[in-house]
Structure 1
């Protein structure tokens, strides 16, 4: 969900833009990267919309400010369901607030990359770092691989001192009513996750068996992590690796199943960006070692050898959007609600 700071930022920035007449620059200055940097310093600020973990986004902000002290980075953290319509509205009206958009919705990524309607081409030098593997990491010279979420089995160690070895361990009768799941409403990636369960974890009735456990339903994986830590639930198949919770002393642990489901984040520089040069600088920074170190705690990294990364983002493919059309997502949601919510 959007926090109060994020809402205030949107409101303030919207007023500023409207006061300037609502026009949006079309792209960065022509010239060298040094020219882009100089123009970015003149712009003095940049805004990121992202669905990534807020603590990682805060680390990104700190690292970016250290490298580019003349450019103030602000981020607004929300779900794809919240952020994608904002990006579409800003593009349609020409009244931009965001400069860079970091998104995990596979259908939105694929369709927007194909259309080119929301983005400008990236120009930063970091994209040509051989370790970034540009050919496998950039779509249509606009969307660039930034991170990946890899999902784990998680448990509360007080409730389950022996942990979970396989997804089938979730079906212990003692866990009935104590398993946490995410509501897929509006989330194409979560629909893909449930479909992955059916196709990869034993029998094709995995989701029906999961529904029969009378699970508690949460709006996001972050909510599930909090519920595990508090003991509200005992186990889940839908949580990101709990590195920060374990480091903080929470009574939780996690393990990656084989195979594990994941989904990548791609980012793009918005054509409605009010700070088009600073947007390019931020985009470039996000795929440097410093940027990836900030973003990769508990996530897949787009560069090799990043500390506390749990996977390589290039190994996590975009889901096949043929199974994630609005009609199919709606059908799945209807079936899911009948099974999980009664």
Structure 2
């Protein structure tokens, strides 16, 4: 297995979430990948044989690099003879690479996983993704293909989630839901909030208002919280005791800290959670389309989900190590996050918090 180790670390989760609004463009030509794909009716054995004949695949992904490489290693062990190259980056960079491959017809990536629905939808409408052929993705396994495979041949693979958390020494009673952050005992700089510097974070605040009432963010501001640029420093501040609770922390960074003895905990909101769903697609320019189809299928099996979704959302229920299922994760609406709407909300937010 070969990998591109760019931008390692938990901050990658947050970076990918904050680049959800990437513009799509262009036309271009595709190679004849579709004609090379073993049809779904042929079955898994023929797909495996075709994938092994191709012998390799390249995956572009905004998912966590460690989890992605663990998935690739397990895939190579399950299907010896197929080499997986993982290229990890943020959606903005990878989307441009994929578009260039579409427009030139010279494909490098076989599969792409992105959290940027605003990029995925226009490309799907342009018919740039191959129809899934693996048994899971065609409704012959535990994966709910009717729910998670969308028009245009893109499919949900997992999700990154953000939630509230607390320092168990400073706030021993814990939190059950976001309204608990309004406890008077947490006023005066004891709560962390994130500054909405990106459209996706504006969406987080919109979600809070939609879920907990139009005045919830105003009440949160009245607590006089500390402001942080992202989930990572907020989580670190919670671990160190700088704050007693955080409104935007990542389970994927808190769970390792908990295992090492850090006094932190978190919970999933009972009505669902804010986050970023990841969408997979086998590309029309794929040079190894059958290997791409097989890898896509493996990603949504129980084995694949356990590896790709630690402390995150899964497309299957009851996967060890996951914290919620994709159907309970916020789906962002890019149409509501126009530059004008984002700027207006940021102005409103600053008037409340600064």
Task: Please report the TM-score for the alignment, with normalisation by the length of structure 2.
Answer: 0.76
Contact 1:181 1:215 in 2 (8 A): yes
Structure 1 position 70, deviation (Å):
1.9
> 1:99–1:35: structure 2 CA closer, same or farther, 3 Å change rule?
same
Contact 2:309 2:321 in 1 (8 A): yes
Match of 1:206 in 2: 216
Tell me, yes or no, if structure 1 residue 103 matches structure 2 residue 108: no
SS at match of 2:57: strand
Match of 2:327 in 1: 314
Contact 1:196 1:261 in 2 (8 A): no
Tell me, yes or no, if structure 1 residue 191 matches structure 2 residue 197: no
Cα deviation per residue 1:115-167 (whole Å; 9 max; x = unaligned)? Answer: 333x2221112212352121111012511111133432112224333323332
Match of 1:15 in 2: none
Q: Runs of 4 or more off by more than 6 Å in structure 1?
A: none
Structure 1 position 283, deviation (Å):
0.7
Cα deviation per residue 1:171-205 (whole Å; 9 max; x = unaligned)? Answer: 446554454344444453x3322111011124x23
Match of 1:304 in 2: 317
Tell me, yes or no, if structure 1 residue 180 matches structure 2 residue 192: yes
SS at match of 1:162: coil
Match of 2:279 in 1: 266
Out of 68, 71, 74, the residue aligned to residue 60 of structure 1 is: 71
> 1:141–1:109: structure 2 CA closer, same or farther, 3 Å change rule?
closer
The within-5 A match list for 1:229-268 is 229-231=239-241, 233-241=243-251, 242-262=254-274, 263-268=276-281
Computed over aligned residues only, the root mean square deviation of the Cα atoms, in angstroms, reads 3.2
Match of 2:303 in 1: 290
Tell me, yes or no, if structure 1 residue 27 matches structure 2 residue 24: no
In structure 1, the gaps of 5 or more residues are 9-22
Contact 1:81 1:187 in 2 (8 A): no
Cα deviation per residue 1:17-70 (whole Å; 9 max; x = unaligned)? Answer: xxxxxx974425244454543343344332323333334223312321221232
SS at match of 1:132: coil
Distance 2:98 2:194 in 1: 24
Match of 1:153 in 2: 164
> 1:206–1:333: structure 2 CA closer, same or farther, 3 Å change rule?
same
Q: For this pair of structures, how many residues does the alignment match?
A: 321
Indicate the larger mover: 90-99 or 151-160.
90-99
SS at match of 2:136: helix
Distance 1:298 1:56 in 2: 11
Tell me, yes or no, if structure 1 residue 51 matches structure 2 residue 40: no
In structure 2, the gaps of 5 or more residues are 9-28
Structure 1 position 325, deviation (Å):
3.9
Distance 2:255 2:244 in 1: 17
Distance 2:123 2:160 in 1: 21
> 1:30–1:63: structure 2 CA closer, same or farther, 3 Å change rule?
closer
Match of 1:165 in 2: 176
Match of 1:13 in 2: none
Cα deviation per residue 1:85-134 (whole Å; 9 max; x = unaligned)? Answer: 333333334444432222223333333333333x2221112212352121
Task: Please report the TM-score for the alignment, with normalisation by the length of structure 1.
Answer: 0.78
